[in-house]
């Protein structure tokens, strides 16, 4: 994608006005997508993203230039233009690259580009048929398939030369139930840092049936009540609560600007004693995993909170530098079009000792959130929100009638202290996370937890 000679020339040009550091990020991403609507292939698209980003850092100042015109003279022109914006006193004459050695977390068995497109369509149709077959109330289905094979080179003025290949695939399954007047949707989106063999490990049919069941259940549901109550959040995508309520606030970009309620709190109790939370980029094949981050740092398992005490942040080179902390292998970006910042990978609440059945049995009144949707947070205030896709009222220790349309809101610092039960059934679920460095694959996760006194916004 780029020769070492060109890379050296471009990097030297980028620091020619004395900046401390420069980095090249070169990418070739072969993408493929198929969309099936109501059982028919609506569109099939594929293509290549290719380009290069040059980052120059000097103390608090950063320059980022990117292009997909990879001709050496164009890269040199952009690098020298960038260098003009960032003067310093460092002198660098040459760079000796040394190739970064690391073990891959997972080796894909079936490369996506070797798969027949008709096999992908067959798989999507199997899902669509299963959803339609589940119940005659299912009136529409939407299935999406994506794969990408992303090759990157990261080189910097300190001599780093890192190459990585990231193969990901994901399927999105939606089923819409309708009774003539109303429509409700069930959705799941499993994916992995794997090749096409991933689909041998899951059953599209079961996933589609479950989406259909969820849609039909919600069709018959009344509106969720509003007000403060206990909420039991089931495992898997329930982990979105930690991702929003706390995870974003532990990213160094928010910490370095003191724009997080968790800034300056390392070593302090920020959560209930039984809570331990981890960001682990090293889980083999997991959707949110990374071999190396987008600055060429090996991914690792980072303990964020241990028994309620804040242990660490997720840092990148630039923001870590501002707060005097080493990079944690958390620097990520959607593509060469984004400057990397600290982001999450697979983030989860560690399992506790409670039994799922006991948590429900011990709840007099509250909401049981079986499946969660997405959410968002303002890290500065800690105000978060997220949607509940399938919920039930809990009364006298029993799961009762389903309710729809619930949104949960709160402040991250409060909610972590109000978690009072943690079960032992940890599971992860896949999602996309959007922030300043773009939209990236992440997993959220948790065992079933109960939160006291959280604001539920419904339509009753």
Residues 125-164 contacting other proteins, CB under 8 A: 139-140, 142
Contacts of 414 by beta carbon, 8 Å cutoff, 6+ apart = none
Minimum distance from residue 66 beta carbon to other proteins (Å):
5
Residue whose CB is less far from other proteins, 153 or 292 = 153
Residue whose CB is less far from other proteins, 383 or 420 = 383
Query: Among 187, 249, 189, 226, which residue's Cα sits nearest to residue 384?
Result: 249
The answer to the question of residue 340 lying near other proteins (CB under 8 A) is no
Minimum distance from residue 143 beta carbon to other proteins (Å):
13
Report CA dihedral (212, 213, 214, 216) to the nearest 10 degrees.
80
Sole binder of other proteins in the list 203, 385, 418, 425 (CB under 8 A): 385
Residues 223-282 contacting other proteins, CB under 8 A: 224, 226-228, 257-259, 261
Count of residues near other proteins by CB under 8 A:
80
Pairing of strands 40-58, 21-37: antiparallel
Query: Among 447, 266, 459, which residue's Cα sits nearest to residue 358?
Result: 447
Cα distance between residue 215 and residue 185, in whole Å:
5
Minimum distance from residue 185 beta carbon to other proteins (Å):
5
Minimum distance from residue 285 beta carbon to other proteins (Å):
26
Residue whose CB is less far from other proteins, 157 or 319 = 319
Stretch that binds other proteins, among 30-38, 96-104, 147-155, 163-171 (CB under 8 A): 30-38
Cα distance between residue 443 and residue 193, in whole Å:
11
Residues 42-101 contacting other proteins, CB under 8 A: 42-51, 60-70, 78, 81-82, 85-86
> Rounded to 5, what percent of the chain is helix, strand, coil?
25, 45, 35
User: What is the x/- site pattern for other proteins, positions 432-451, by CB under 8 A?
Assistant: --------------------
Minimum distance from residue 225 beta carbon to other proteins (Å):
8
Give the three-state DSSP class for 220: coil
The alpha helices in 224-276, defined as continuous H runs, are 240-245, 252-256
Minimum distance from residue 216 beta carbon to other proteins (Å):
14
Minimum distance from residue 458 beta carbon to other proteins (Å):
6
Residue whose CB is less far from other proteins, 65 or 252 = 65
> What crossing angle do the helices spanning 4-14 and 72-84 adopt, rounded to 10°?
20
Residue whose CB is less far from other proteins, 302 or 347 = 347
The answer to the question of residue 416 lying near other proteins (CB under 8 A) is no
Cα distance between residue 134 and residue 129, in whole Å:
8
What is the C-alpha R_g of the chain?
A: 24
Residues 162-221 contacting other proteins, CB under 8 A: 176, 178, 182-185
Reported in sequence order, the residue ranges of 133-213 that DSSP labels E, i.e. its strands, are 138-156, 160-178, 183-188, 191-192
């Amino acid at each position: 994608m780029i020769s070492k000679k060109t890379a050296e020339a471009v990097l030297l040009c980028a620091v020619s006005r004395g900046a401390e550091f420069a980095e090249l990020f070169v990418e070739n991403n072969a993408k493929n997508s198929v969309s099936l609507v109501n059982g028919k292939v609506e569109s099939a698209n594929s293509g290549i993203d290719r380009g290069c980003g040059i980052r120059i850092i000097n103390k608090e100042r950063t320059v980022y230039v990117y292009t997909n015109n990879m001709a050496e003279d164009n890269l040199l022109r952009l690098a020298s233009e960038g260098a003009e914006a960032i003067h310093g006193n460092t002198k660098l004459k040459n760079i000796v690259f040394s190739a970064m050695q690391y073990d891959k977390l997972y080796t894909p068995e079936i490369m996506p580009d070797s798969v027949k497109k008709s096999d992908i369509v067959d798989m999507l149709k199997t899902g669509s048929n299963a959803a339609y077959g589940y119940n005659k109330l299912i009136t529409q289905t939407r299935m999406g398939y994506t794969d990408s094979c992303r090759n990157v080179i990261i080189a910097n003025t300190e001599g780093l030369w890192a190459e990585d290949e990231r193969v990901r695939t994901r399927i999105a399954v939606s089923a819409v139930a309708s009774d003539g007047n109303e429509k409700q949707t069930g959705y799941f989106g499993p994916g992995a840092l794997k090749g096409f063999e991933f689909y041998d490990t899951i059953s599209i049919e079961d996933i589609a049936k479950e989406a259909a069941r969820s849609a039909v259940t919600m069709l018959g549901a009344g509106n969720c009540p509003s007000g403060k109550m206990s909420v039991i959040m089931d495992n898997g995508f329930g982990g979105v609560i930690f991702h929003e309520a706390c995870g974003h606030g532990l990213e160094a970009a928010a910490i370095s600007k003191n724009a997080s309620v968790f800034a300056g709190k390392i070593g302090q109790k920020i959560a209930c004693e039984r809570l331990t939370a981890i960001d682990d980029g090293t889980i083999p094949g997991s959707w949110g995993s990374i071999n190396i981050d987008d600055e060429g740092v090996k991914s690792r398992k980072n303990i964020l909170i241990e028994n309620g005490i804040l242990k660490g942040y997720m840092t990148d080179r630039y923001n870590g530098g501002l707060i005097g902390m080493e990079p944690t292998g958390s620097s990520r970006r959607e593509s060469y079009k984004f400057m990397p910042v600290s982001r999450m990978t697979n983030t989860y609440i560690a399992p506790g000792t409670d039994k799922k059945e006991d948590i429900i049995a011990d709840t007099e009144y509250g909401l049981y959130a079986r499946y969660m949707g997405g959410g968002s947070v303002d890290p500065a205030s800690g105000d978060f929100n997220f949607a509940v896709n399938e919920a039930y009222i809990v009364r006298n220790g029993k799961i009762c009638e389903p309710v729809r349309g619930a949104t949960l809101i709160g402040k991250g610092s409060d909610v972590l202290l109000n978690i009072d039960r943690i079960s032992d059934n940890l599971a992860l679920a896949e999602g996309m996370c959007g922030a300043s460095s773009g939209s990236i694959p992440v997993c959220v996760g948790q065992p079933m937890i109960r939160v006291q006194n959280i604001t539920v916004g419904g339509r009753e």
